A and B are shown apart, each in its own frame.
Chain A
Amino acid sequence: EDQVTQSPEALRLQEGESSSLNCSYTVSGLRGLFWYRQDPGKGPEFLFTLYSAGEEKEKERLKATLTKKESFLHITAPKPEDSATYLCAGIKAAGNKLTFGGGTRVLVKP
């Protein structure tokens, strides 16, 4: 059974305190790994797609990396506006179904 597990479940950071979120996956025939940001009361907002081990993508204070078994989302010098739930999801080569992890709730305090 396809599975995506995120850790930690919750993360409290001081503004400027860098950290990393983990996403481990066992998805047969994985085509890509997605990262989304979700704010309260809103749908997930697309951040990155990673397709091969060793790939990295960056956007402002966020950098996503991918290995054969896991992905990391690094948050560098976070600001309070980075507070959100971060979701990762795997997509199979066949079809477009996303299998999501449970998310990491990030709170950045000023």
Chain B
Amino acid sequence: EAGVAQSPRYKIIEKRQSVAFWCNPISGHATLYWYQQILGQGPKLLIQFQNNGVVDDSQLPKDRFSAERLKGVDSTLKIQPAKLEDSAVYLCASSSTGGAAGYTFGSGTRLTVV
């Protein structure tokens, strides 16, 4: 079974620029998550999709972050404009409906804002 694919692996941008991350979940997984992991901390949920609908985006800074999941498969997360404090690893994860067995995480995109 192929894992969760994310790209790019690394990205360096200047503050106030925009950036987008892409995620392809495990085939058939209805639920997709974006987490932000700041260095030395545990991951924090930004947004959860069920198919192509948003289930939870309560911790997404909506003035600068946006996300979409087209056709209930791939997803993109965008930051515009980026701030220094957005430097982090952005992890995508997916789970089958119910998620009781635990998520499968991708390797993440490491964003550095300078």
Contacts and interface: CB of A to CB of B under 8 A. Distances in A.
Given A43-B91, A43-B93, A95-B56, A101 B42 contact: yes
A98 B48 CA distance: 11
B25 interface: no
A46 B110 CA distance: 21
Interface in A1-23: 4, 6
B103 interface: yes
Contacts, number: 58
Contacts of B41: 102-103
Given A32-B100, A43-B93, A98 B105 contact: no
Residue of A32, A43, A44, A98 with most partner-chain B CB within 10 A? A43
A30 B52 CA distance: 26
B58 to A, nearest CB: 9
A38 B48 CA distance: 21
B99 interface: yes
Contacts of A32: 100
A57 to B, nearest CB: 12
A98 B99 CA distance: 10
Given A95-B55, A97-B56, A41 B107 contact: yes
A45 B105 contact: yes
Interface in B93-114: 93, 95, 98-108, 110
B28 to A, nearest CB: 16
Interface of A: 4, 6, 31-32, 34, 41-46, 49, 87, 89, 91, 95-103
Interface of B: 4, 31, 33, 40-45, 48, 55-56, 91, 93, 95, 98-108, 110
Which 7 pairs, one residue from A and one from B, show the smallest C-beta to C-beta distance?
Answer: A100-B42, A43-B105, A96-B99, A46-B102, A44-B105, A102-B42, A100-B43
Given A46-B103, A97-B48, A99-B45, 12 more contacts: A4-B42, A43-B4, A43-B91, A91-B99, A95-B56, A96-B33, A96-B48, A96-B103, A101-B42, A102-B42, A103-B41, A103-B42
